[in-house]
A and B are shown apart, each in its own frame.
Chain A
Amino acid sequence: MPIRRLLVANRGEIAVRVLRAARELGIQTVAVHSDADRESLAVKMADMVMPIGPPQAAKSYLNVDALMKAALDSGADAVHPGYGFLSENATFAEKVESAGLIFVGPTPEAIRIMGNKSLARETASKAGVPCVPGSDGVVDSVEQAVESATRIGWPIMIKASAGGGGRGIRVAHDADELRSQMTTAQAEAQAAFGDKSVYLERFIRRARHVEVQVLGDGKNAVHCFERECSLQRRRQKILEEAPSPALSADTRSRLCESAVQLARSVGYRGAGTLEYLYDDVSREFFFIEMNTRIQVEHPITEMITGIDLVREMIRIAGGEPLRFKQSDIVMRGAAIECRINAEDPDRNFMPSPGKVHEVILPGGPGVRVDSMLYPGYTVPPWYDSLLAKLVVHAEDRPTAIARMRRALRELHIEGVKTTRGLHLTLMDDPRFQAAEFDTNALEGWLAARAPAASPTTTTSP
């Protein structure tokens, strides 16, 4: 049943992105907003607007009851969750469906399976997808953990089953360390996530973060190649590119095929991303987790494949089958995304909310900007700091870097501090140009650049 009116249960640039896709499909749009977002671009663009509560996300964008009420009151027949907030909340997806509306995403069951780290691992293993060597599921006792770790090899990570985003992880280098950390890790997991289950995984010291985009319609699934997202700070991606400059054609095809196998095995519906660690030296890749939603960095995949992922996920949610066979999906050129955040890289990435006086967005060949900025917009302090995703596409990686440098120079945002300067520095960095980096590289480069700044803590000025 085709969707007629879509409520976007999100804010910021992704709300704008989803509204645009819906509008191109001739679907009416409903924006929601907290009291802090009355003047947002999504609110200005949408056909209908529903207030959902106070600025605090817990009381608005994470408030299931408020969003359900907005959806029903607006007469929407579908809900798109965007990323973050409730996008991977199975209970929310369930409530949307049991109210008779369409959830633009996978089934609640798929969200639940992939949201549980050890269950996701198990599912991947069964589908023949290589995982980081680890315990088969949860380890309960200290002795079971030591036995398992001896088989896997040291050093080892103790990870909370219900954890995520780098939280709930400890590293042990030998049996003594593991013994002393096991109980603490379980207690921490219980306190932080309400679930004391932990599992073990081999700790890979130097790895790239490579992820595969998949699309499924519940029966069939295809991949749209991979993204390289190794440049991170505090496990937050700063810059992404597609394809990964590290993969051979053979590795790429094995990696992407494994992602499709996993998506098929769970009858995946919608857009999803499988995250892998890639070891440059051994050329092994290991599945780590699946994100059951659209991701921030999806535009680089759209640039190299020409597929509008958000539009396809809305079509699939409306009941259409996948419109592409794998052989229809071709990769062309290289794309880079720079996240322009309201943060001051010269002051330890201090957040910089406030009024934006002037905005000049870059344009010209091969440039795309996904943003909610307009002159006079006030960036609220309540939410994440992403202001704009500056994306370029060119025939190859060096040309894309030159194009990104040119686009960054055109970008002008006055009123708040941004990460623009950091990206300009990266474009000129020979290590970036040579694609020599792993997931720890950027933090090392930043620490070397600013030896005086504290690398690990945010403190008051």
Chain B
Amino acid sequence: MAHHEVLSPLPGTFYRRPSPDAEVFAKEGAIVKVGDVIGLVEVMKQFSEVQADAAGKIVRFLVENEDAVEPGQPLATIETA
């Protein structure tokens, strides 16, 4: 089993939900394909999607909702087949 880390494209605030009351984009354990949205990074009041750049199972998120993130910081681990 190989592991792949999804990295933050930007500095900012990481969100796991599209809005405070909504469901998370992806749960731990979820199967994702390339391009699936797994979170948002807010920088300067603009929201950028974080997409899975590998297919597989999300083993775990490495940052909490609303955590500050740096560019290149690992956000989630995907177990690739």
A residues near B (Cβ < 8 Å) are 55-56, 191-192, 342-343, 349-351, 353, 381-385, 457-461
Contact = CB atoms under 8 A, between A and B. Distances in A.
B13 A56 contact: yes
A459 B48 CA distance: 5
Interface residues of B, number: 19
A381 B43 contact: yes
A238 B24 CA distance: 33
A383 B66 CA distance: 15
B33 to A, nearest CB: 16
A56 B66 contact: yes
28 contacts: A56-B13, A191-B21, A192-B19, A342-B44, A349-B46, A350-B48, A351-B10, A351-B43, A351-B44, A353-B11, A353-B43, A381-B11, A381-B12, A382-B44, A384-B44, A384-B45, A385-B44, A385-B46, A458-B46, A458-B47, A458-B48, A458-B49, A459-B48, A459-B49, A460-B9, A460-B10, A460-B48, A460-B50
Given A191-B21, A381-B11, A459-B49, A55 B44 contact: no
A194 to B, nearest CB: 10
**What is the interface of chain B mostly: helix, strand, loop, or mixed?**
strand
Given A56-B13, A385-B46, 15 more contacts: A56-B66, A191-B19, A342-B44, A343-B44, A349-B46, A350-B10, A350-B48, A351-B10, A351-B43, A351-B44, A353-B44, A384-B44, A385-B45, A458-B48, A458-B49
Contact of A460 (B11, B44, B45, B51): B51
B30 interface: no
B68 interface: yes
**What is the interface of chain A mostly: helix, strand, loop, or mixed?**
loop
Interface in B1-30: 9-13, 19, 21
Nearest to A36: B68
Contacts of B13: 56, 382
B35 to A, nearest CB: 10
B6 to A, nearest CB: 10
10 tightest CB-CB pairs across the interface, nearest first? A460-B9, A351-B44, A385-B44, A381-B11, A351-B43, A381-B43, A381-B12, A458-B48, A384-B45, A351-B46
Nearest to A459: B49
Contacts of B50: 460
Contacts of B46: 349-351, 385, 458
Interface in B26-80: 41, 43-51, 66, 68
Nearest to A57: B45
A191 B48 CA distance: 22
B44 A381 contact: yes
A107 B48 CA distance: 38
A67 B9 CA distance: 33
Nearest to B69: A381
Contacts of A343: 44
Contacts of B45: 383-385
A43 B44 CA distance: 20
B46 to A, nearest CB: 5
Q: A55, A192, A350, A381 — which one has the most chain B CB atoms within 10 A of its CB?
A: A381
